[in-house]
Chains A and B, each alone.
Chain A
Amino acid sequence: RKEVEQDPGPFNVPEGATVAFNCTYSNSASQSFFWYRQDCRKEPKLLMSVYSSGNEDGRFTAQLNRASQYISLLIRDSKLSDSATYLCVVNEAGGFKTIFGAGTRLFVKA
């Protein structure tokens, strides 16, 4: 079993749609969690950290379920510019060892 698993997609959605990505992790001792986005042939960029109580940043909402060991990202009112690969990232206990999921590709179409 992979340490961090994501649905590879691709997800093809129209502008304005709501789309949700899920990610599962295997190490129950993992301590911190993030979503990054990566545009084609670019470096990953931090989208948001995921806090235990869940958190929202504009159109983006992240949730953490420690009991089930999964993280989710919800994007509301999708824009063309949201088209990218979304990477789920998990830091192990102690905070520095980092595992990236393989990413979920999103295409938002007009």
Chain B
Amino acid sequence: GAGVSQSPSNKVTEKGKDVELRCDPISGHTALYWYRQRLGQGLEFLIYFQGNSAPDKSGLPSDRFSAERTGESVSTLTIQRTQQEDSAVYLCASSVRTSGYHEQYFGPGTRLTVT
């Protein structure tokens, strides 16, 4: 079946502009995660959504970052007034409980470059 998809695959923006990144999870997956991965670094948790529960926003680095999810479908991550340090790959993952385990499946990511 279809995997997690993300768009755009690449985004180049000028410092100070707003950007919106999109994630389409696997159908039926109740949980959706956003991560940031800077070049040569590990994954940094940003936010997750689980069904209709309040999202866990504890990983968002500043109030310039926000995310929304419509039900159990599409999510958008918005970065306002982008800074050069926001340059990274933004990865989305979705998961469904499997025998007590929440195995995550990742999209290909959006590579954001802030000039």
A→B interface (CB under 8 Å): 31-32, 34, 42-46, 49, 87, 89, 91, 95-103
Do residues A32 and B101 form an inter-chain contact, with CB atoms below 8 A? Answer: yes
A44 to B50, CA, bound (A): 21
Contact among B42, B95, B105 with A87 in the assembled complex (CB-CB below 8 Å): B42
A43-B108, A46-B104, A46-B105 as given contacts; A96 in contact with B31, CB under 8 Å? yes
A46 to B94, CA, bound (A): 12
Do residues B103 and A49 form an inter-chain contact, with CB atoms below 8 A? Answer: yes
Chief secondary structure at chain B's binding surface: strand
Note all chain B residues with C-beta closer than 8 A to A87: 42-43
Chain B interface residue bracket vs A: 20 to 34
B→A interface (CB under 8 Å): 31, 33, 35, 41-43, 45, 48, 50, 56, 91, 95, 97, 100-109
Closest A residue by C-beta to B41: A102
Min distance, Cβ B30 to any Cβ of chain A, angstroms: 9
- List 12 additional contacts besides A95-B97, A102-B42; criterion CB under 8 Å: A34-B101, A43-B91, A46-B105, A91-B102, A96-B48, A96-B50, A96-B95, A97-B48, A98-B33, A99-B45, A101-B42, A103-B42
A8 to B91, CA, bound (A): 21
A101 to B109, CA, bound (A): 19
Note all chain A residues with C-beta closer than 8 A to B105: 46
